[in-house]
Amino acid sequence: MTGPQPQGTGRVLLIGQVGKALLDARGLDRRLCETRENVLDGIDAAARNVFDTIGVVMDDASSQLGSVLRALRRSSTARIVLLARMYEEPIARRLTTPIPGEEKLADEYCVCPVSLATLCPRVVQEQRERIPSESQGPDSRAPAASMELERRLRYLERLATTDDLTGLKNRRYIWEFTRQILDRARQADRRVTILVFDIDDFKHYNDVYGHMAGDEILRQAAILMRRCCRSHDVVGRVGGDEFTVVFWDDPYRTAGEVSRDRRSTTAEHPTEAVFVAKRFQQALGNADLHLLGPRGEGVLTISGGLASFPRDGSTAEQLFERADRALLEAKRGGKNRIHLVGEPRNSIADMG
pLDDT tens for 120-169 read 766 555 555 554 444 445 454 545 555 555 555 555 565 578 898 999 99
Percent of the chain with pLDDT over 90: 31
pLDDT tens for 100-112 read 877 789 999 988 8
| Residue 314 belongs to some domain of the structure | yes
Overall domain count for the chain: 2
Q: What residue numbers bound the domain in which 190 lies?
A: 171-350
Question: How many alpha carbons fall within 13 Å on the CB side of residue 92?
Answer: 22
My answer on whether 126 and 90 are in the same domain is yes
| Residue 286 belongs to some domain of the structure | yes
My answer on whether 79 and 175 are in the same domain is no
| Residue 2 belongs to some domain of the structure | no
My answer on whether 175 and 139 are in the same domain is no
- Between 298 and 330, the higher pLDDT residue: 330
My answer on whether 136 and 214 are in the same domain is no
Examine the fold and report which residue of 111, 126, 159 is the final residue of a domain before the chain moves on.
159
- In this model, does residue 290 exceed pLDDT 80? no
**CATH code for the domain of 328:** 3.30.70.270
| Residue 86 belongs to some domain of the structure | yes
User: Are 242 and 324 within 8 A, CB to CB?
Assistant: no
My answer on whether 103 and 243 are in the same domain is no
| Residue 102 belongs to some domain of the structure | yes
User: Can you spell out the DSSP letters for 76-142?
Assistant: --SEEEEEE-GGGHHHHHHHTS--TTS--S-SEEEESSB-HHHH-HHHHHHHHHHS-GGGG-S-TTH
- Count the neighbouring beta carbons within 10 Å of the beta carbon of residue 5: 17
Q: What value does the mean pLDDT of the chain take?
A: 78
Angle at 295 between CA 289 and CA 297, to 5 degrees: 55
CA-to-CA separations, 280 to 41, 90, 248, 300, in angstroms, rounded? 46, 20, 18, 11
The 3 state secondary structure assigned to 182-221 is HHHHHHHCCCEEEEEEEECCHHHHHHHHCHHHHHHHHHHH
| Residue 239 belongs to some domain of the structure | yes
Provide mean pLDDT across the span 242-258: 71
CA-to-CA separations, 104 to 47, 66, 74, 79, 308, in angstroms, rounded? 19, 11, 12, 11, 33
DSSP reduced 3-state for 255: coil
| Residue 166 belongs to some domain of the structure | no
- For residue 327, the model assigns a pLDDT of 92
Angle at 20 between CA 16 and CA 24, to 5 degrees: 105
**CATH code for the domain of 122:** 3.40.50.2300
Taking alpha carbons only, the member of 317, 303, 314 closest to residue 174 is 317
Total-model pTM: 0.70
Examine the fold and report which residue of 159, 184, 217 is the final residue of a domain before the chain moves on.
159
pLDDT tens for 73-108 read 999 999 999 999 888 888 898 889 887 877 789 999
